[in-house]
Amino acid sequence: METLNGYNTDKFEQGLQALGLSLENEQVEQFLLYYKMLSEWNERMNLTAITDFDEVLSKHFLDSLCLVQAIPNLKGQKVLDMGTGAGFPGIPLAIAFPGLDLVMVDSVNKKLDFVRAVVEKLGLSGAVAVHGRAEDLAHEKNYRKNFDLCVSRAVADLAILAEYCLPFVKNGGMFVAYKSAEVDAECERAEKAVTLMGGEPDQVLKYTLPGTDAGRSLVCIKKKRATPRVYPRKAGKPASDPLI
Ligand code: SAH
């Protein structure tokens, strides 16, 4: 593992502590390497609008790790990150929980080239990147109702996300959406879709991003019943004609 000097990670480590996470030095170095790769690749392709070191560590890395507030026992769970983009929240979770059984999905393969390069460079065993659309993969045998947990950050409105994500979750499992502070109206609008997909609202965890005053929510939805076979509808339909 190459070492990266000259970066001040104090604020990041305070944030980790606030989340109850204690990482080995090697894991902090994995985060720094991830930052370095993100900056380099971002010059060639559009991966993130956030490039400042402190902001990436806060708004991407810590933000992704905030999941532990809702799901403290990630270890041993089979996790799907729907619409991972440049690897959020998947990669930070895989770094913090070595060996995490994680599938990161995106419909844009170019972004997954980056995610795969990170997985390889950081040696994140257990993490894989899969190219496809939620609407298609959710009908494949190896994906449908195959995950304990599906997470998704900044991908779509909750009503649409429910149709993308809940089909992947086993009965008894959970779907968690990363959202901003103002989420109540969106949750209400999603009630119909959630119920149709066999889900049931669990908790909505509201908090501030560690080290900032930025409000965030984790919307947790429990999978209670199997999703009817007709869902998700064909590619594009959940977004163009949401179940509201
Ligand atoms: N989760 C990342 C990326 C958010 S951008 C983050 O928080 O930074 C949204 C991503 O979702 C994009 O990369 C887009 O390609 C992907 N996406 C949108 N709709 C999708 C779908 N139906 N199936 C798979 N990926 C999708």
pLDDT digits (tens, 9 = 90+) for 118-163: 999 999 999 999 999 999 999 999 999 999 999 999 999 999 999 9
Atom of ligand 1 nearest to the CA of 83: 11
Please report which confidence band the pLDDT of residue 2 belongs to, taking 50, 70 and 90 as the band edges: very low
**Cα separation values, 229 from 14, 198, 199, Å:** 46, 11, 14
Contact 179 CB / ligand 1 (< 6 Å): no
* 66 pLDDT above the threshold of 50: yes
Query: What is the arithmetic mean of pLDDT over 169-175?
Result: 98
Arithmetic mean of pLDDT over the chain:
96
**Cα separation values, 152 from 7, 28, 44, 90, 92, Å:** 29, 23, 25, 9, 13
Query: Could you tell me the distance, in angstroms and rounded to a whole number, from the CA of residue 133 to the centre of ligand 1?
Result: 9
Pocket test for ligand 1, best of 56, 107, 131, 176 (most atoms within 8 A of CB): 107
Element (H, E) at 82: strand 78-82
Query: Could you tell me the distance, in angstroms and rounded to a whole number, from the CA of residue 244 to the centre of ligand 1?
Result: 21
Which pLDDT does position 59 carry in this prediction? 97
Query: Could you tell me the distance, in angstroms and rounded to a whole number, from the CA of residue 53 to the centre of ligand 1?
Result: 23
The CA-CA-CA angle for residues 107, 108, 113, to 5°, reads: 125
Query: Could you tell me the distance, in angstroms and rounded to a whole number, from the CA of residue 138 to the centre of ligand 1?
Result: 15
Sign of dihedral through CA atoms 229, 232, 237, 238?
Answer: positive
Query: Could you tell me the distance, in angstroms and rounded to a whole number, from the CA of residue 107 to the centre of ligand 1?
Result: 7
pLDDT digits (tens, 9 = 90+) for 180-225: 999 999 999 999 999 999 999 999 999 999 999 999 999 999 999 9
Which pLDDT does position 4 carry in this prediction? 59
Which pLDDT does position 238 carry in this prediction? 98
> If you take atom 6 of ligand 1, which residue's CA is the nearest one?
88
Query: Could you tell me the distance, in angstroms and rounded to a whole number, from the CA of residue 109 to the centre of ligand 1?
Result: 11
> If you take atom 26 of ligand 1, which residue's CA is the nearest one?
83
